[in-house]
A and B are shown apart, each in its own frame.
Chain A
Amino acid sequence: MSKICIVFDRLRSEEKMLEKQAIELGHDTIMLDAKITQFNTDSQKNDYDFGDIVLERCISYFRGLHFTACLEFLDVPVINKFEVASNCGNKLIMSLCLKKNNIPTPKTYFSFSADAAKENLEKVGFPLVLKPVIGSWGRGVMPLKDKDTVEAMFELRELTDGPHDRIFYLQELVKRPPRDIRVITVGDQAIAAMYRKSSGGFKTNIALGAEPELCDITKEIEDVCAKASQAVGGGILGVDLMEDEKNGLVVHEVNNTVEFKGLSKVAKKNIPKEMVEFALNSARR
């Protein structure tokens, strides 16, 4: 019998499904709230009970990332690794990882001031999609189709002036059907996929009401997802694909703490079971 520790900061269906699955497989579980866990520079692994492996499932990216750093400091095996979380949590870093590894990804422009981003827009032309480098669920993602929108968006960024607001990530607007594909990979293998259909607007995030529909995992999807997973460092991931009319499948995102509540209802494979088994097998290696 093994013991798996699930670290959370908000207990969602996903974390409860993972716990239930681990118990059904005959393993012990520890549900650990990151918000009330303490570390210090003298902390030792045996001061805690993290079981055989930790699944880091915080909803807050930075909380999860820093918690993972503390776990790795104590030599506690954790999924996903710090490097993976760090690669996936920042869209600019992720795009670089994908391109460096020859994975088809939309052309993306990086500027480090509003003026430089405007200059680039004048050169490249409209439309481009502005995305915050940190953030999920489609927040702050906006197609820039004219100068007025650019002025308004960039002015807003000046007002909020967070550290990441000075980094401008502008991506080509991919011509595609009004949907994208979310694939869950476990240990570089695609285990489930769904189409996320836009509910009328430009975005296809389930969190914004996009309709999920089961998608068959073709050999092409399997291959591109395996490469995307390897590019960011592997583990348990959500790979997002678009069907580009010109270039075929392109990877636009790889997500670190993948949500699977909706997909698990229709997927052929038992998603939480695959995740728990992968985690425990990783711990045994």
Chain B
Amino acid sequence: MAQIKLQNIAHSYNANAKDKKYALKPFDMTWVDGGRYAILGPSGCGKSTMLNIMSGIVTPSEGHLLFDGVDVTEKTTSERNIAQVFQFPVIYGTMTVHDNLAFPLVCRGYDKSFIKAKVSEVAEALSLENFLSQSARKLTADQKQLISLGRGLVRDNVAAVLMDEPLTVIDPDLKFRLRRKLKEINQKYKSTLIYVTHDQNEAMTFAENIIVMDDGEIVQIGSPAELFDRPKTTFVGYFIGAPAMNFFGCKAVNSNTINFNGTEITTTTDLNGIKNKDLKLGIRSEYIRFSDVVGENTIHASIESVDDWGNHKLVTADFDGNIIKIKVKRETEVPTDRAFLMLPAHHCCVYDNEILV
């Protein structure tokens, strides 16, 4: 267990070329010991590169990596004492399940009785105790992935357990149970868990802190609630939440008011010092409410369609060419023709050049 610090880390797969292209742009980051993190982002955004840098599979072309203040940038993977689980199950096909789970401990020279106790503890936690003497090759894909996971968990002193979309091959029911299990393990062993995924639900339900990445950069770090309520960029707003955040072009009027298509909307954002007058207003579909009367922050829009999503309704409205999505409870009465929509001031986010003001 350790605090992991990335100091000005950057990586390029063609570091010596003239047209150097960063897979990971320079950044600083500290992973708190015992934290539960998810790295979220679209394919090719640098998530796996970041993970591979921490485990030592990839040596960063710039910057330093510190474990509890000790520089480990040049250290080998085995010296770092880290566990990593890949997207597809990696098992040692010629060994039994028991030997697979014991392998990391055997390699590090632990004594037999300790290994035996530890392997049965992990096997029980992952419901593999009945397969221990079987050849690992004969198991199903999700059982194999459990073995991969188990090998990551047998060493309880690891600096961190890194997981690169580990539940892709696992069926949904087991996925849910495993995520809970991972949370339990995190609480029990206080080991840092870093979980890469492109599935926002997985990230939201698993992590205390989510790191959103795009195009080799960390866009935002925050709790699921922060990411949902105050996305730092329009990318995060689009990427997190279903449906994506509503975004509309608008202009600044005074220190906290914007003009959205002729209607003045008050926000809690301080707009003093914003030179650019062309801004964007972002608001979650969950926070827009129907209103019976014209009031502050209300717009008059026509209802285009209502989709029943089972537990809620998704209303599509048109406000002079701006399409607005509104998510309401299933029992909410939706006006059929035109309606007043209320945009609560504290939920209105203003973006200047795609970045939250």
Q: Do A and B bind each other?
A: no
Q: B-side interface residues toward A, CB under 8 Å? A: none
